[in-house]
Chain A
């Protein structure tokens, strides 16, 4: 259902043969073309130095392409300020410490909307909504610096959400989190997604990608090595390895079982695989 809507409306993010070189000559993007439709859930993955963060920084105009085009919500980023683009795309940095500076969480979360000139009432409403979405309303009066890494991440995301963007770009949001914190965070992203948010996730954790994302863009040496649905992206372990990535064990196992005709569809979590087996055995009986 989403697909048909996506096909009709213009993409919210569009890169056309974008190239980018850092000062000093390293070419970090070597001709990248892609479209992201509204409401899509996209992972950008790749080894260290593959160009994934450079690509992500093009999505809100922090970097502008040296040649080629980047269009965000139909506007070309090279002629639009970051502040304007920030209304469409929220960007969450990997290290929340780079972002947090206010003395209280609520102040921190209001900082973005204040910059964008929302009125005081809107500011409060937006901040409250963002705090609630991230499940950190109770931390409102706390100082961000005193919080755990997991909570600082949530504050950082809330402070970006408060500017009510339509796209959320997250750079390795689960790095440093343990499994409980990371599961919580991904569940929250699921909620955002169900409310129509477009999510671009940069990560090293392929298990998260398999479980939570629809589409995978694999970067390697500044180019898109491949761009595919999750099932297909993880179907060729050698191709992944060449891009310094590893397929999650359950995904690999499910694909092997499918090849043997023992399963009818793939699985991305142990529980999914078990449920399928229960079904298979039920049908056989």
Chain B
């Protein structure tokens, strides 16, 4: 079931209360910061800061471990593989035929792992603390066309439903003696026709009915629709926005205007 689960956890933290637009902007700033930084020390400081934010987000333990297991594995993979493909600099630590591993390579690998950790975790925090409807609402308020916002919202809303349908279809075919685990990859791929066919048919039927339901509720009646929920920036939102902007702009100036290595 986890596959199709919404990662958002309801809670009342300052991260949850932030305006989704501010949250998206801040996440973007922190991501840019992680991208321009190359020094391992600073990246580790940033990573620690982001992990603290993650703790403050008070997401469910199950969802956090589900997501972070994935992030940590990816980080480990990068830390291990990077030095193999980036053997520049000295001293050389290992030379085994074509395989060369250097000390700077290892540091750069660790830095890259930390950077990816920052990027992935910060976006996870956004998803952990912002409901899908707030995300979509934020995007629409930032200028996304309402139709696209609605399409996105519907896609997110029906993602788990579609997952349940897929499970039922797989169960229905297993009940007729189909064994998905058996056979080589081509045989198995062909078996999925028995799942995709019915899945497409039910998706189309749902889409058909949805179109009728939307029209029956005057969808597209006027260009300027109203909204039940408006987004309102509060003082704390401005504070957070300024802080996030500063967190990117100050190091960026230090790096590009004053050539301070960060």
Contacts and interface: CB of A to CB of B under 8 A. Distances in A.
Interface residues of B, number: 22
A160 interface: yes
A93 interface: yes
A60 interface: yes
Contact of B168 (A22, A82, A95, A145): A95
B176 A112 contact: yes
A83 interface: yes
Interface string A93-111: 1010111110000000001
Contacts of B197: 100-101
Interface residues of A, number: 28
20 contacts: A62-B175, A81-B179, A82-B174, A82-B175, A83-B177, A83-B178, A86-B177, A93-B171, A93-B175, A95-B202, A97-B202, A98-B202, A99-B172, A100-B198, A101-B198, A111-B176, A112-B177, A115-B177, A145-B201, A160-B176
Interface string B170-205: 011111111100000000000001110110011001
Interface of A: 22-24, 57, 60, 62, 81-83, 86-87, 90-91, 93, 95, 97-101, 111-112, 115-116, 145, 159-160, 163
Interface string B1-44: 11000000000000000000000000000000000000000000
Contacts of A87: 177
B175 to A, nearest CB: 4
Interface of B: 1-2, 165, 168-169, 171-179, 193-195, 197-198, 201-202, 205
A111 B194 CA distance: 10
Given A62-B171, A91-B175, A98-B169, 19 more contacts: A22-B1, A57-B171, A83-B174, A83-B179, A93-B168, A93-B175, A95-B168, A97-B198, A97-B202, A99-B169, A99-B172, A99-B173, A99-B198, A100-B197, A111-B194, A115-B177, A115-B179, A160-B176, A163-B177
A177 to B, nearest CB: 17
Nearest to B182: A83
Contact of B198 (A24, A57, A98): A98
Contacts of B198: 97-101
B175 A160 contact: yes
A22 B133 CA distance: 27
Contacts of B202: 95, 97-98
A99 B175 CA distance: 10
A159 to B, nearest CB: 7
Contacts of B2: 23
